[in-house]
Structure 1
Amino acid sequence: MYPLDVVKTRMQLQVGTTGEEAYTSMLDCFKKIIKNEGVGRLYRGISAPILMEAPKRATKFAANDEWGKFYKNLFGIPTMTQPLSILTGATAGATESFVVVPFELVKIRLQDKSSKYKGMGDVVSHIVKKEGPLALYNGLEATLFRHISWNAGYFGVIFKVREMLPKAETKSGKITNDLISGSIGGTVGTMLNTPFDVVKSRIQNTTRVPGVIPKYNWTLPSVVTVFREEGFGALYKGFLPKVLRLGPGGGILLVVFTGVMDFFRTIA
């Protein structure tokens, strides 16, 4: 699904939709990348998310589980509720953000249409040399907004949809319920966090120059800037490729996590 992420980023970084090279839709973006840059460009920057995926997903679910236990003890609630699911999801998203920021920054810099970097190592060395080591965490605030909102929506919706679905009596029924609830959760999470993702992409793609305040700097002012200059729709640039990846991806993620955890419980 990585090419969808490349297309999403390209559309988010694009200001305006005029000109021969402008992307007018998801399919148009695919066509122009393949025609002008080659199929391989759809996989540019994939090394960063490959390295990021395992620690990211592990942190997401481990943090959600541990924060859930913490909040239940803190508030004296014996069982999980939907408000508690939203709270634990949001806190897990914040925890996850600290793991993913450097990887996301490298990925965005490589996915950009004008990127001249040779690879992941070149991006890291350039950023450290030109902008300083702390620049690897540029966009942390926007990443917090993005992951808190997505995980709050994801885990909150999963809890509610599971509650509404008929109780699964078989293993296949459980998988189906997880796939449905995870997919709906992933879709809702994407609806909530796309505006933050748009500004995160722009913030992380900005090369910092000492003494110069970048146009896209902090999350909420950047959201206002995009809205004023490009309209509300610009805050949802790249939504279609993003939701096509994270909607079903959220279902697959939940099914795999639940299946793996059940397996380890049987052999523990």
Structure 2
Amino acid sequence: MPEERISRWYFGGISSSAAACLTHPLDLIKVHLQTQQEVRARMIGMTVNVVRREGVLALYSGLSASVCRQMTYSMTRFAIYETVRDKMYRENKSLMPFYQKVLLGAFGGFAGGFVGTPADLVNVRMQNDVKLPAELRRNYVHALDGLLRVWREEGLRKLFSGATLASTRGALVSVGQLSCYDQSKQLVLATGYLPDNILTHFLASVIAGGCATILCQPLDVVKTRLMNSTQEYRGVLHCLTDTARLGPKAFYKGLVPAGIRLVPHTVFTFLFLEQLRQRFGVVVVN
């Protein structure tokens, strides 16, 4: 009987955390760019400013919170997506159609976005601390310290501030990453030119990273405009309609920097995930 290995439910969290350790400086610079009140520095300029002011290690500020976020947000969405997908495959003896992958990816991403909101909040604060004056810094020791202090000082509700946007973004990113990766890998294997190896995983993950960037960039733009605003927007809908007046291109400002951050993270995540699956996955008989 032919055998294959499938991922364990927690592999997604481990692989995403490993990818986050490699791409954390890019994520930190993105947060700095999004939270500056006016456009004073671009990507390279902001990186130079951080290193010059605080040193190279400052690029890894908030790493514990970033890993904590991946172990909540990514572990949840991967666990939901891969568990349901593999169960349906064993029951139906056929691959899921793409529309079902999209729906499952959106559901898993929405749930993961909600679960990961507290860690995301602490992650943004810890990364942003570097550029604040010393007297205004929160100085969280690590992610757990940040979570406990927000809970004690600002209440449990504050931990889930922005959960709607985080969940919606999680759904879009997961459709781009999980659903598009599965479909891309399936199409690459179907050509017969490449086996299930690291090159196939790389090609499929690059496509998935590009899809995820394009899908979530409009929401990122709206989130950034809301963060940069000085109370000129009444809410998300007002910001959305105001941005739409500038034309479709307005929703894709900063697409290249966003891709520079998200595509490598997606590639590393799936390369690590596939290696974990092939070496330590659960053996099932087809």
Where do residues 49-88 of structure 1 align in structure 2 (5 Å cutoff)?
49-68=66-85, 78-88=94-104
Shift of the 11–71 alpha-carbon distance from structure 1 to 2, 3 Å rule, reads farther
Q: 2:108 aligns with which of 84, 92, 98?
A: 92
Judge conservation of contact 1:93–1:151 (CA < 8 Å) in 2: yes
CA distance in 1, matches of 2:228, 2:64: 18
Report the alpha carbon displacement of residue 30 of structure 1 after superposing the two structures with TM. 0.9
Report the alpha carbon displacement of residue 78 of structure 1 after superposing the two structures with TM. 4.7
Question: What is the root-mean-square deviation of aligned Cα atoms in Å?
Answer: 3.5
TM-score normalised per structure 1: 0.77
Judge conservation of contact 2:62–2:123 (CA < 8 Å) in 1: yes
CA distance in 2, matches of 1:243, 1:96: 21
Kindly indicate whether residue 214 of structure 2 is the aligned counterpart of residue 191 of structure 1. Answer: yes
Kindly indicate whether residue 192 of structure 2 is the aligned counterpart of residue 167 of structure 1. Answer: yes
Shift of the 28–265 alpha-carbon distance from structure 1 to 2, 3 Å rule, reads closer
CA distance in 2, matches of 1:77, 1:139: 40
Q: Which residue of 1 aligns with 2:173?
A: 150
Q: 1:116 aligns with which of 128, 137, 140?
A: 137
| Higher relative contact order, structure no. (Cα contacts within 8 Å, ≥ 6 residues apart) | 2
Q: Secondary structure at the match of 2:185?
A: helix
Judge conservation of contact 2:69–2:119 (CA < 8 Å) in 1: yes
CA distance in 2, matches of 1:41, 1:54: 22
Judge conservation of contact 1:71–1:88 (CA < 8 Å) in 2: no
Where do residues 1-268 of structure 1 align in structure 2 (5 Å cutoff)?
1-17=23-39, 22-23=40-41, 25-68=42-85, 78-112=94-128, 113-114=131-132, 116-119=137-140, 120=142, 123-124=146-147, 127-165=150-188, 166-167=191-192, 170=195, 174-200=197-223, 219-224=236-241, 227=243, 235-236=251-252, 239-265=255-281
Shift of the 144–176 alpha-carbon distance from structure 1 to 2, 3 Å rule, reads same
1:229-260 Cα offsets, whole Å, 9 max, x none, are 99876755654443223213212222221221
CA distance in 2, matches of 1:201, 1:122: 26
Judge conservation of contact 1:183–1:249 (CA < 8 Å) in 2: no
Q: Identity rate of aligned residues, in percent?
A: 25
Q: Secondary structure at the match of 2:116?
A: helix
TM-score normalised per structure 2: 0.73
Q: Which amino acid aligns with 1:147?
A: G
Q: Which amino acid aligns with 2:168?
A: F
Shift of the 108–162 alpha-carbon distance from structure 1 to 2, 3 Å rule, reads same
Number of equivalenced pairs = 252
Q: Secondary structure at the match of 2:139?
A: coil
Q: Secondary structure at the match of 1:80?
A: coil
Shift of the 94–179 alpha-carbon distance from structure 1 to 2, 3 Å rule, reads same
Judge conservation of contact 1:7–1:241 (CA < 8 Å) in 2: no
Q: Which amino acid aligns with 2:139?
A: K
Report the alpha carbon displacement of residue 11 of structure 1 after superposing the two structures with TM. 1.2
Q: Which amino acid aligns with 2:83?
A: E
CA distance in 2, matches of 1:35, 1:229: 39
Judge conservation of contact 1:199–1:223 (CA < 8 Å) in 2: yes
Q: Secondary structure at the match of 1:251?
A: helix
CA distance in 2, matches of 1:59, 1:125: 21
CA distance in 1, matches of 2:234, 2:138: 23
Q: Secondary structure at the match of 1:117?
A: coil
Report the alpha carbon displacement of residue 184 of structure 1 after superposing the two structures with TM. 1.3
Q: Which sits farther off after the overlay, 93-102 or 254-263?
A: 254-263
Shift of the 194–79 alpha-carbon distance from structure 1 to 2, 3 Å rule, reads same
Shift of the 67–106 alpha-carbon distance from structure 1 to 2, 3 Å rule, reads same
